[in-house]
Structures are given as C-alpha cells and as structure tokens.
Amino acid sequence: MKSKAPAAKYASELIDLSYYVYLSTNEWPWTIEHSILNGFSDEELSEFLAGEIDGDGSVVYYYNGETELVFVYIIACKACPKRIVLDVLRDTIAKRFGIIGTINQLETDDALVFCGKNAVKLLRRIVKYMHHPIRRIRAELILALYDGRISLEVFEKLYEQTEYDQGAPDVKRSRGLEALARAAPQTHTHGATWDKENLIR
C-alpha cells in the first residue's frame, strides 16, 4: 500500500523560519577559532574582545604606594575546552594590533593578562563596545587619567566607588546601575579565587 504524499500548503506571504543548534563545549569546533578570528575586521575583533571582557574578564587599576599599573584580563577555567581560546586570543591580538599579553596560571583557572601600556592600548580599542557597567566605567576612568582629562586625585575618588570585596555588598546595587548589572553576562570560574598580585606576577 502506497503512502500518501504529504499535503502542501502555499503561503502568499513571506514566512520567517529560524532555528538554533545547541552544542556542548566538548562539541564546539575550537580548532577553527583561529580562522574565525582572522576573518573579523579590526572593529569586529574589537567588539568580540569587549564581549569576552564583559563576560569573563575584568579591568583593574593597581597602586601599592610605589607601583602604578593597569591591567585587563580574561579568565578561562583549566578544565574547560574553551581554555584554548586564551592562546588563540593572545596570538591574534599580538599579530593584529601589536598588543602583547601573557597567560598567567591560577589555581583552577588561567588568565590572559594585558599590563601597563598594552592594557591601555587594548582599552582604547574596545571601550566603546563594552557593556558591563563597572568594567566600562573603570575603562573610561583609566583612559581619562592617561589622557590627562582628570587628575590622579579625582581618578582615585571615582575609581574607589567601583571597588568591592568578594562576598561584600555589591557596589553595583542600588546605585542606578542595578538593571544593567543584572543584565551583564556572567560565567563560571569553578569557585576560583585570585588577587591582583597573583595576576601581576
């Protein structure tokens, strides 16, 4: 017995069809990451980097009374397949922009770290694409300081308002940034802890 052909219905208007393919980290083709990033224009790469820092990074100004340092970092846990992205990013950023970063080993995570002038050069490229409220504010303040638009005294007072300790009340809450902060991308670090000194070394 022959089965009947499925009925066809013709539409007079355009139909928009979309679908999503969900892949686990183990299935994602990390090996083609180089070719993907190399296919980006300079602006597209800058936008991609801003997204990485929004989600898995930070922007920090460090001063211990003797040493003044700016650094930007992106974190990836050692156990995740996406850890290889740090090496790809380091190589691509150095080749494309001449900005040099290093891979620092943490307890359960690794960090791609840009220090000093390299960090400032990176911020100049990506700041306009950053959406994480605290990181964007810090980046803007650091660039304003380095450009001479604000004094060190003013910078320190403003930057201090963006700092908070792990586990302490979050400075983002109840300060006009709550909606943005809640919407900012957050990713896991498997409970890792680190400090400024560990990242700088």
Query: Could you give the number of structural domains in the chain?
Result: 1
pLDDT in tens, 123-150: 999 999 999 999 999 999 999 999 999 9
DSSP, res 30: G
Would residue 160 count as lying in a domain? yes
The answer for residues whose C-beta is within 8 angstroms of residue 146's C-beta and 6 or more apart is 70, 120
Q: Which two tokens stand for residue 145?
A: 């300081």
Parent domain of 105: 31-200
Would residue 49 count as lying in a domain? yes
- Is-above-0.85 flag for pTM? no
Would residue 16 count as lying in a domain? no
Would residue 14 count as lying in a domain? no
pLDDT in tens, 64-84: 777 888 999 999 888 777 787
**What is the CATH classification number for the domain harbouring 171?**
3.10.28.10
Would residue 52 count as lying in a domain? yes
Would residue 57 count as lying in a domain? yes
Which one-letter amino acid corresponds to residue 77? C
State in Å, rounded, how far the first CA of the chain is from the last one: 76
